[in-house]
Amino acid sequence: MSIDYKIEIVEEDAIDWDEPTVITGFPGPGFVGETVAMFIIDSLKMREIGHVESELIPPMLVVMGPNLRPPFRIHASENADVVVMVDNQPIPMEHHRALARRLMDWLTGKGVKEIMAVDGLPLPDETLEGRVIGYSTSRETLSRLNGYGVLPLTGGAVTGINAALLEICREWGVPWTGLLAPTRRIGSPNWRGVASIIEVLNGMLDLGVDTSVIKRGGAETVEQSLIKTREPRKGGILGALRRRVG
C-alpha cells in the first residue's frame, strides 16, 4: 500500500511575483549547488519568503545565530524577479519526483519564467577546473551560454531533483537550464566552480554578485563572508556540510 506523504510549501512573506527566474541549489558534488545558492542569497540580502515541509525530507534544522531554520528554504530578490531555492539536506532519491512535481505546481502558479539549476559535475579532467558546462531546453539560452564561455554538455547525465525538475519542465514547456561545474573532488567545496557559475549568472541575470572573495580567499575566507551568523564552535553551516561527507 502506497503512503501519501504531505508536501507543503509554507509562504512566510507575501511578495508581488514578477515572472521570476528560479535558481535551484541542491546538495551535490563539490557542494556547488547549495554554496552558489547561499552565496547569492547572502550577497544580495535576499529575504526568506518560504520553506518546504515534508516527511520526505530527513530531519534537520540549520543553526543561523539564534535561529533554527528548515533545510529547504526559498528566497527572493528585492524586485521578486529572481527566486533562489536552496536545500542543505540530501533527500532520498525515491522522493525526488514527488517533491519536484509539488515545487513546479507551486512555481507555475506564481508565473515562473525559467528554471536555472546549478550543480557540480564529477569529472576527473583537471583542465576543466574553473570552467562551466551548460545545457538548456531553450535554443535562445544555449546561444547566450556560448557567449559567456560556457561549454556545451555533449555527454553525461542530469540526476536527482534537478533531473526530476527537467522532466517536468519539458512536459510543461517551462525553459530549464543547467550550469555545471566540473568537479574532481566531490567531497570538498569546489570554490573555483562556484565562482565561475556565479559569474555566468551575473552576466545572464544581471545579479551583480562580487566573486572576488572566492577567488582571493579559500574555504575559511569564503565561509566568513558567506555565513554572517555561525554555528558556535563548529565551523558554521559550511563546516557542518563538510563533516556530513567527511
pLDDT per position as a tens digit, 75-90:
998 888 999 999 999 9
Q: Are 124 and 184 in contact (CB under 8 A)?
A: yes
Strand partners, 74: 50, 85
Domain boundaries, the chain: 12-245
Q: Would you state the cell numbers that stand for residue 65, as one nine-digit string?
A: 545565530
Q: How far apart are CA 90 and CA 127, in angstroms?
A: 29
Task: Report d(CA 225, CA 222) in Å as an integer.
Answer: 5
* Structure letter (DSSP) for residue 209: -
Contact 141, 173 (CB under 8 A): no
Predicted confidence at residue 31, as pLDDT, reads: 94
> Which DSSP letter does residue 58 get?
P
Residue 136 · residue 178 · CB < 8 Å:
yes
Residues of the chain with pLDDT > 90, as a percent, come to 67
* CA–CA distance, 90 with 26 (Å, rounded to integer): 8
Contact 139, 152 (CB under 8 A): no
Say if residue 20's pLDDT is above 70: yes
Amino acid at 236: G
The β-bridge partners of 118 are 25, 179
Number of CB atoms found within 10 A of residue 55's CB: 11
* pLDDT at res. 30: 93
Higher pLDDT, 198 or 18: 198
Asked if CATH classification 3.40.50.10900 holds for the domain at 12-245, the reply, yes or no, is: yes
pLDDT confidence of residue 243: 40
User: What pTM, to 2 d.p., does this model score?
Assistant: 0.87
